[in-house]
Amino acid sequence: MSDTPPERGEPVVTPVRVVIALCLFAPFVALLWVGSYSKVDPTFIGIPFFYWYQMLWVLISTALTMTAYQLWQRDQRARKGGASK
């Protein structure tokens, strides 16, 4: 195996990129699996589960997207810093 960096354009799968993908993929799985939340109980301050579960995922999705973005920025900085050495 060679220690040279991969050529530009060649896809690289790293643990950080897998975490980024999971952060972006999790909301889709959670919200497309309707059978897991298509019920009324438990209610939260009078709001049926079906609605507050989806609203909760809006906040969770925002946090996961921010996390993915920050990880991506850190990964890009590390790749640029490693390429110049």
User: What residue ranges do the domains of the chain occupy?
Assistant: 15-72
By the 8 A CB rule, do 34 and 49 touch? no
Q: Identify the pLDDT of residue 3.
A: 61
- What percent of the chain has pLDDT above 70? 84
The residue-averaged pLDDT of 8-22 equals: 84
Q: Which residue has the higher pLDDT, 58 or 85?
A: 58
pLDDT band for 7, please (50, 70, 90 cuts).
low
The residue-averaged pLDDT of 31-45 equals: 89
Rounded Cα distance, 9 and 38, in Å: 43
Q: Identify the pLDDT of residue 21.
A: 94
